[in-house]
Amino acid sequence: MEQKVTNRKAEQIIQAKFDPRLKTYTIAGTSLVLVLTVVGLVLLPFWLILGRAYVNRYFDNLYCELTTRALHFKKGIWFQTERTIPLDKIQDLTFKEGPVLRYFGLSYLQIETAGQSMQGMADMSLTGIQDARKFREMVLDQRDVITDKSSTTSQSTTTVTDSAEDHQILPLLQEIHKTLQKIEQKIN
């Protein structure tokens, strides 16, 4: 089947904004983990002194953008992660709010794709997006637009290209068949 390659640039639909309360949530969560561990008690004073600067810098590096064709996400300071997920690969966006996240006024979006390696694991997760429900709906709506376009386009072009390819493939298959018959005769 012949595929057309289009050279269209994806246009930005929306850039997600992260809630500043994510900073407080991160500092409090990390402090709690440090308090609960023996090694963490030693590291806790350093975290309390340097943690806010680290979290501020981390927060400044968070970036999430929905385009007409994909979802782009960047995070990290020392170890930076940049992910691009094509919209047609997104199977579900799960919206979660636990009691701790609700206390901080935050929510969690879990993105599951068609090519996930482990069942039940999220391919990507986003914590602290402002108006997360609205962002989720925008991503799902754009995904539906993309999948509807691609299925309509592929259905209409498949019948035309299949018949054209049949005329090209048939002689090749006949030649392969003849070669296999010759090999079979030599073996017997």
Nearest-angstrom CA–CA distance, 120 and 111: 11
State the sign of the Cα–Cα–Cα–Cα dihedral 141, 145, 151, 152. positive
Determine phi and psi for 152, rounding to 5 degrees: -65, -45
Nearest-angstrom CA–CA distance, 65 and 129: 11
Reply yes or no on whether the pLDDT at 164 is more than 70: no
β-pairing verdict for 90-96 and 12-16: unpaired
Maximum CA extent, the chain: 83
Domain assignment present for residue 24? The answer is yes
Least confident interval from 57-66, 89-98, 107-116: 107-116
Domain assignment present for residue 133? The answer is yes
Domain assignment present for residue 186? The answer is no
- Kindly report the CATH number assigned to the domain that includes residue 147: 2.30.29
Q: How many domains does the chain have?
A: 1
Domain assignment present for residue 119? The answer is yes
Nearest-angstrom CA–CA distance, 124 and 134: 18
The residue ranking higher by pLDDT, 158 or 12, is 12
Give the model's pLDDT for residue 152: 60
Per-residue pLDDT band at 169 (split at 50, 70, 90): confident
The per-residue pLDDT for range 39-86, each reduced to its tens digit, is 888 999 999 999 999 999 999 999 999 999 999 999 999 999 999 999
The residue ranking higher by pLDDT, 2 or 179, is 179
Q: What is the mean pLDDT of residues 16-32?
A: 93
Dig out the tokens for 125 from the structure. 């997760």
Domain assignment present for residue 165? The answer is no
* Number of residues written out for the chain: 188
Domain membership of residue 18 as a residue range: 12-155
